[in-house]
Amino acid sequence: MLHHQMIRQDFGFRVQRFGGFYTCLVLSILSFLSPILMVIIPQLPIYTFRTSQLRCDVECDGLLISLSFKLMCLAAGAWAVFYRKPRSTLPRLMLYRGFVCLLLILVGLAFWLFYIFRISEDKKRTSYKEIVSYSMCYLDALIVLHYLSLLLIHLRHQQPAFLIKIVRSPDGESSSFLIGAMSIQQAAANVLDRYYSSFGIFNPYLEELPTSRERRDAATAGGGDSNYKYFNPGQDGYGNYHEKDSRVGSPGFRNSTGRKDYGHNDLFYDEYEYERRLKKRRARLISATDEAFSHIHRINNMDNKGTSSPMDSYEVAQTIFPSIVRPLQKYLRITRQQPRHTMDSILSHLANIIHYDMSPKAFLEKYLTVSPVLQNDMERVELQSWSLISTVAVTRDLTPGVTFQLRQGDVSLMCDVITLPHYNITEALLQTPTTQSFIVDRSSHQV
C-alpha cells in the first residue's frame, strides 16, 4: 500500500515538475511546423488546385527561401534561449510564461481558422503565392512572440531592482544580493541558488559549545542541586559566585538551544576556551599535514633515483595517512564534522590530491573551509525540497517590504525585500587655485 502511494506521489511530482516544460515544448513544435504545413498542404491531392494556381514565380521562390531562413533562425533562437530543463518546481503557475503560451495558442488558432476558411471557401481564386505570403505572416507573428517572451521571461529580470537579505535560523548567518523584478516564487528559487553557492554549511552540533571540565563535574556531582547557581551576598550587596558554602541559590535556565545558560561571564570564557582549543588543534593538523607531504617528496626522490619501485597515488596516501588521521580526527571532533567525513572519503580525497600534485593546504581546504553548502556530500542530492511561506500570493511581483520564508527541517531562511534607492548624481567642478591667488598669497607671506 505504501509502495503504491509513493509511486503515485512520485508520478504526481514528475507531472508537476515537467508538465509545464513539455506543454510549452509541444506548443512550440506545433507552432513551428504550422507555416511548413500551410505551404505543403496545397501541394497534396487533398485539394484540387489548378496548375495555374500552384505556379510559383520568382517572387514566390524568394518568399519560400526567406521562409526557410526565418524558420532556421527561429529554431536556433528558441533552442538557445528556452530549451532547458526546469531547475526548480514552483508551487504556482508562472504568469508571464502562461501569458506567452496563451498568446501562442490564440495566434495559432486564428491563423489556422482563416487558412481553412480561405482554402475551403475561396480556393478557386487563391494562388499559391498568396498562401506562401500568408504562412510568412504567421512566421513573422511567431518571431514577434519569441521576442516578447525573451523580454518578459528573461531580460526583464536582469536589471537589479531590489536587495534581498537572507537570514538563516538558528545560527543567524546572513547574506544579501541584488535581484530583478520577478514574482515571489521565482525570487525563492534565486534565493536557494544563492544559499547553496555562498552560505556556509549549517552544523547544528556547533550550537552547543563544550563547557569546561570543572563546570561539567560540578553539574554532575551536585545531583538535584546542579540546576542552581549559588552566590553569597557580601557586605556590599554584590554576590560572589565562587563561595562553595553559600546557601542562597538561583535556578538556572535553559535557552532555546537546550543548553544551560550560566551567564555572560561563563559564556565568554567557554567561547574563549573553545577558540583556543580550536586554534591549537588546527595548528597541529597543519603541522602534521605539512610533515606528511614532505615525506611524499622524499618518497618521490627515492623513486626518481631508482632505489624502489614507484607507487601509485592511493598507495602513497595509505603510507602517510596514519600520520594525518589522528590530528584530523581531533579537529573534526572539536568542529563537529565527524558525520560528514568518513575514513574512506578522507583517504580517497588524499589520494586525489596526491595524484594531481597539490599542496597540503589544498588537502586541508575541504575540512578547514565550511562554505559553500554544496561542499557537504550530504547536500549533493538530486532533489532538495523546501516549503515557501508568504503572506502575499507567491505569483505576485516583489514589492518593498515583502517578507517570505523558506523552510527545510530545522533550517529556515527569512528573506526581506528592500528597494534600491534612486541615485541623484550631480556634476561638480574641481576648484583649483589660480596663478593670481598664488601671487597674492606669496606677497602676503612676505609682508
What pLDDT sits at residue 109? Answer: 95
What pLDDT sits at residue 388? Answer: 95
* Sign, CA torsion 116/117/123/129: negative
**DSSP single-letter state for residue 423:** P
Of 185, 204, 91, nearest to 415 (Cα)?
185
Helix or strand run (H / E) with residue 261: strand 260-261
Report the number of secondary-structure helices (H) and strands (E) in the chain. Answer: 11, 10
Backbone angles phi, psi at 419, to 5 degrees: -80, 145
* pLDDT tens sequence for the chain (447 residues): 434 444 445 767 777 777 788 888 899 999 999 999 998 888 877 766 666 667 777 888 899 999 999 999 999 998 888 888 788 888 888 899 899 999 999 999 999 999 888 777 766 677 888 888 999 999 999 999 999 999 988 888 888 999 999 999 988 999 999 999 999 999 999 999 999 999 999 888 876 655 555 455 545 555 444 444 433 444 444 344 343 433 333 344 445 545 555 578 888 888 888 889 999 999 999 999 999 999 888 777 766 655 556 678 888 899 899 999 999 999 999 998 888 888 999 999 999 999 998 999 999 999 998 889 988 888 888 889 999 999 999 999 999 999 999 999 999 999 999 999 999 999 998 887 665 554 445 555 443
What pLDDT sits at residue 52? Answer: 64
- Amino acid residing at 426: T
The C-alpha cell that represents 374 in the structure block: 554544496
Cβ density class 342-351: b for 16+ within 10 Å, e for less: eeeebbeebb
Of 340, 346, 311, nearest to 326 (Cα)?
346
Q: How far apart are CA 230 and CA 245, in angstroms?
A: 9
**Reduced DSSP (H G I as helix, E B as strand, rest coil) percent helix, strand, coil of the chain, to 5:** 60, 10, 30
**DSSP single-letter state for residue 87:** S
What pLDDT sits at residue 80? Answer: 86
Q: How far apart are CA 111 and CA 114, in angstroms?
A: 5
Q: With a threshold of 0.85, does the pTM exceed it?
A: no
Residues near 106 by Cβ (< 8 Å), separated by ≥ 6?
A: none
Q: State the Cα angle at 393 between 387 and 394, rounded to 5°.
A: 50
- Chain centroid to CA 376: 14
What pLDDT sits at residue 216? Answer: 54
